[in-house]
Structure 1
Amino acid sequence: MIRDDIKAATIAAMKAGEKDRTAALRQISAKIKDRDIEERTSGKNIPDDELVVSVLQKMAKQRRESIEMYEGGGRQELADKEKAELSVIEEFLPQMMDEAATRAAIEAIKAETGASSMKDMGTVMAELKARHGAVLDGKLASGLVKAALS
């Protein structure tokens, strides 16, 4: 389980005296615990690895946006800190689908559902997320679905 890998990495980082890595791993654990509490109160039952991956994807997206903003604002030291955190987060994320695999999945779903126009974009995206949610880059998929249906 990914959660166990994160705990083991946290312990290893603490023993090695890697303060920045330890802080990033603790931040990941805190976000996962927050999400656990949310799920407990909502009554949903999401598989553990799926929950952890969704938290990690959200954190990675936030880091990428921050890096872009910091670099645009000339704050390279803050961008570097975010990049370091992003690299720790990405260690635990499953390998994302590349563009070719995403295109193939979209074409398969188009063929199965008979999608042919922009009206069907929601259907195609929903099916894509249901099948490949943990390894799908939503931004890339959205653009490819628009191109395939236009």
Structure 2
Amino acid sequence: MSLLEQINADMKSAMKAKEKDKLQAIRSAKTALTLEMTKTGASEIEDAAAVKIIQKLVKQRKDAADTYKGGGREDLAEKELLEMSFLEVYLPAQMSDEELTAAVQKIIADTGASSMKEMGKVMGMATKQLAGKADGKAVADKVKALLS
């Protein structure tokens, strides 16, 4: 079952169960995926592309929640975090800190990098290998820590 089919099925079940918040989050994901398919002229969307779009939506929710918290609007922040939790279900499992450290150490060894000057080379390889498995900021922080 493709990710889009899974989202459609979950949307139907959320409608039947009258789960408004979950339905709103799933609809936003379906809309983003449909827009991407329209833009590319495709009748299907690959799961890898769908995951990237959902990651973007999750990041938007997280940023919005942080902004609301900074403005003292806990109620709106909680709503964003709730929607984010409904969307994270569609993402692959994220790497633990230990797994990320091991993966970045292997990439550093493979590239032969030894200083911060070579961070770009390491990040390029890490971004490709760890796409979808770890947050980009977490990867960058780990690379900086291990190279310095």
2:136 aligned residue: 138
SS of 1:136's equivalent in the other structure is coil
TM-score normalized by structure 1?
Answer: 0.90
CA distance in 2, matches of 1:4, 1:119: 45
Deviation at 1:36, TM superposition (A): 2.4
Question: Which residue is 1:13 aligned to?
Answer: 14
Q: Which has the higher helix share?
A: 1
Q: Where does the alignment leave 5 or more consecutive residues of structure 1 unmatched?
A: none
- 1:7, CA displacement in angstroms? 0.8
Using the alignment, how far apart are the partners of 1:126 and 1:103 within structure 2? 16
1:89-104 to 2 correspondences below 5 Å: 89-104=87-102
After superposition, the C-alpha distances for 1:51-100 in whole angstroms (9 at most, x for unaligned) are 11111111111111111111111111111110111111111111111111
CA contact (8 A) 1:14 1:22 kept: yes
Match of 1:37 in 2: 38
Q: Gaps spanning 5+ residues in structure 2: where? A: none
**Aligned pair count?**
145
Percent identity (aligned): 39
Considering only aligned residues, what root-mean-square deviation do their CA atoms show, in Å? 1.6
Give 3-state SS (helix, strand or coil) of 1:17's partner: coil
Match of 1:67 among 55, 65, 68: 65
- TM-score of the superposed pair, with normalisation by structure 2: 0.91
| CA positional deviation for 1:35 | 2.2
Question: Post-superposition shift, 1:48?
Answer: 0.9
- Please give the residue correspondences for 1:71-150 in structure 2 after superposition, counting only pairs within 5 Å: 71-150=69-148
Cα distance between partner residues in 2 of 1:62 and 1:116: 34
CA distance, structure 2, for counterparts of residue 62 and residue 113 of structure 1? 33
